[in-house]
Structures are given as structure tokens and as C-alpha cells.
Amino acid sequence: MNFETDIFTVFDKKWALLTAGKKDDFNTMTISWGGMGTLWGKPVVTSYVRTSRYTHEFLDKNEFFTVSFYPEEYKKTLGILGSKSGRDIDKMHIEGLTAEVVGDSISFKEAEITLLCRKLCLQPIDPKNMNPDIAQQFYSADAPHDMYIGEVVDIIRK
């Protein structure tokens, strides 16, 4: 496996798609919070998903998920996938994106890089345990985040 990147900007500036499900039943959403590192002796990706997201249901139902990164020209599409819910639009057939099976999960052919992840841990993040300023800013009106930690089992580079 080989994936060189600036981990402090790749989520924040480039954004990514977090996708879970099977070929005919999956959902995807844009993420810009996340991390990569080492845990339990494994290469891991950590993502933070509000419990209100439709994608959350797919993450819970499936052992695998993908995190995929796209060329700059897909930013508008990522903006749509990050502002509309799969409960309201069909995210399995988004113009400009072609779903493809990756291992036991789903990504899109247009991705530059896809990280195939096996779910290792789901950990709710309790606003009661946070710095009060953060809790107030991010959780007074919105659902809390769950942290999903996935082992990176494959890296698919186009």
C-alpha cells in the first residue's frame, strides 16, 4: 500500500466521499472532517458522521465503507452530495459519477484514490465530554457525531 498525502489538508480542503452499502443499495455523502493514522497496529481512517445522516444507516448496516478523493472539477458534485440527503435524491445515480464495486463496498470510477475500509469501531462522541465552546458551537442545534474507525484494507489508485 502506498498513499502519500498531506493529511492535514486532504480532508479539509479537498473533501472526500464517504460511501457505504451494496451495489443496488448504497449511499454516499461528502466529508471534510477525518483523519488517518495508526491504531491497534493497523492503518486506519477515522470519520465523523452526525447521527442524522442517511449515510449513517448504511455505515451501521455494512462491515465495509470507502473514503474516496476526486479531481478538483468534481467539487461542485461533492457540494451537492454534501448538501442534499439520499433520503431526498437518488445518490446511486448522480450525474458525472459512475458507481463501481470495490471489494465488499462501493466507490466511483472517477475517484483518484479510494480507501477501502473495514469498520473496526463505532464510538459516539458525547458533547457532555467536550470543551463547552465546541459543544455549544457544533451541537446546540444539531445531532451529535459518531466516530467510525476503519482499517484501510486496500488503496485503489487510478
Residues that bind ligand FMN (CB under 6 A): 15, 27, 29-33, 48-50, 53-55, 79, 82-87, 91
Distances (CA, A) of 133 to 27, 34, 150: 32, 20, 29
Residue among 1 and 73 whose Cβ is closer to ligand FMN: 73
Residue among 82 and 103 whose Cβ is closer to ligand FMN: 82
Query: Number of helices and strands (H, E) in the chain?
Result: 3, 9
For residue 148, the tally of other CB atoms under 10 A from its CB is: 25
Count the alpha carbons within 13 Å of 7 in the hemisphere toward its beta carbon: 10
Residue among 29 and 45 whose Cβ is closer to ligand FMN: 29
Smallest separation (angstroms) from ligand FMN to the CB of 75: 9
Smallest separation (angstroms) from ligand FMN to the CB of 72: 14
